[in-house]
Amino acid sequence: MPLLETTLNDEQDVEIFYRRWLPETGDPRSVVLVLHGMSEHSGRYARFAEALIAEGHAVYALDHRGFGRTSAVTGMGKTGPGGFDGVLGAIRSVQETASAEFPGLPVIVFGHSMGSMFTQAYVQRHHDLAGFILSGSAAPAPELAELLTGIEAIVEAGAGDDPIDALGSFNEAFAPARTDYDWLSRDADEVDKYIADPMCGEGNPVTAAFLAGMLGLLRDAGTSEAVASIPDGTPALLVTGEADPVSNGGEAVRTLEGMYRDAGVDVTAHYYPEARHELLNEVNRDEVTADIVQWIDELVNAR
């Protein structure tokens, strides 16, 4: 069967749920490790996985600590043991499982939104990756320090385990809006699917401590010293919508693109006019998916 739903125990013995998709025929040519965004889960990437396995790539996608089925172990919106070292360590455990099952295959990390923030930090810690892809990414901005200080104050006041609305402001640019999640996509059906999913949206918030840790991770990954730690020539693909509020209409990604190029990262970037946050669920998703698959194919074929 092409799809397996199972679990593994990471280095701190936290049970991590993940999905694995394999090509219907033949051996896979690479492993694509998918890191989902905030207040969602790995199951939402099935269509993307089907496009990848059709071209011979194996796909592994975990539910991060604090989300999806893994949240039953850690608690909703909580990192569990080890904080964000544990979050990144769980990703490493899935990568190691994939590499044990398919030794020698190149591993490419695809991170969306929150997952792209994890990816930025992950590629600085682990230098055995063939490349990485950032979708709907944020990047450190001048206002990040002030925001982080405010959230850290909430944590220090003893409310670190309290849920916090980390997504509410993104819809403001689309007022008057049909729903609270119009910022995700121009495709109303896809927005409605997100709202109807019991593992997505407002019923799956992060805690203040989680948000503080995530923003601290983004801040640290965005320094010039941290970016310079990525091996010279590492291939990277950046994809973003020019109406994505998370990337400030793509401006944050353009800043990140410049930092990566200056550090010697081999960057390819696509900016899609009028597209919103979830490019894989946008009205032009076939175009976006084709661009990503082509980039992965060319990367794998060149090895």
Predicted pLDDT of residue 140: 79
Rounded-to-integer distance, Cα 294 and Cα 300, Å: 10
Predicted pLDDT of residue 2: 79
221 backbone dihedrals φ, ψ, rounded to 5°:
-75, -15
| Structural domain containing residue 188 | 3-301
Q: What is the pLDDT of residues 36-91, one digit of tens each?
A: 999 999 999 999 999 999 999 999 999 999 999 999 999 999 999 999 999 999 99
Q: What is the pLDDT of residues 256-281, one digit of tens each?
A: 999 999 999 999 999 999 999 999 99
Residue stretches of the chain with pLDDT short of 70? 1
The count of structural domains within the chain is: 1
Average pLDDT of the chain is 96
**Does residue 281 sit in helix, strand or coil?**
helix
In the numeric block, which tokens belong to residue 116?
């792209």
Rounded-to-integer distance, Cα 114 and Cα 118, Å: 6
Predicted pLDDT of residue 1: 56
CB atoms under 10 Å from CB of 80, counted, come to 21
- What is the DSSP-derived secondary structure letter of residue 231? P
What's 196's domain CATH number? 3.40.50.1820
CB atoms under 10 Å from CB of 274, counted, come to 11
